[in-house]
Amino acid sequence: MKIITKHFDIAEVDRIIEMAWEDRTPFEAIDFQFNLKEKEVIQLMRSNLKISSFKIWRKRVSGRKSKHGFPKQKTRFKSANQK
């Protein structure tokens, strides 16, 4: 696997890690904002987290639908009572 290095400042790395931990933030949002594909986010997480934290994060996001793909716009943040 080819390792792609992109230079981010500390605040950007912290924000990427925060977005990666969030349940409702898909990898596509990270790609849109920081131009990082899912494999690159995994690589960044692996290099910036402790091994145990990385394993917990990886187990948490593996196969999670909310981390893969934007939700439908018409149902996002909309109550059943709204028209």
**pLDDT tens by residue, 16-71:** 999 999 988 999 999 999 999 999 999 999 999 999 999 999 998 887 776 666 55
Position 62 scores a pLDDT of 86
Would residue 71 count as lying in a domain? Answer: no
Would residue 78 count as lying in a domain? Answer: no
Q: What is the mean pLDDT of residues 71-76?
A: 52
Would residue 79 count as lying in a domain? Answer: no
**Tally of CB atoms within 10 A around 44:** 20
Position 38 scores a pLDDT of 92
Would residue 24 count as lying in a domain? Answer: yes
The answer, yes or no, to whether residue 1 has pLDDT greater than 50, is no
Question: What tokens appear for 32 in the block?
Answer: 């849109």
Alpha-carbon separation of residue 52 from 62, 68, 77, 82 (angstroms): 15, 23, 33, 43
Domain boundaries, position 35: 10-61
Please count the structural domains in the chain: 1
Would residue 1 count as lying in a domain? Answer: no
Q: What is the mean pLDDT of residues 65-82?
A: 58
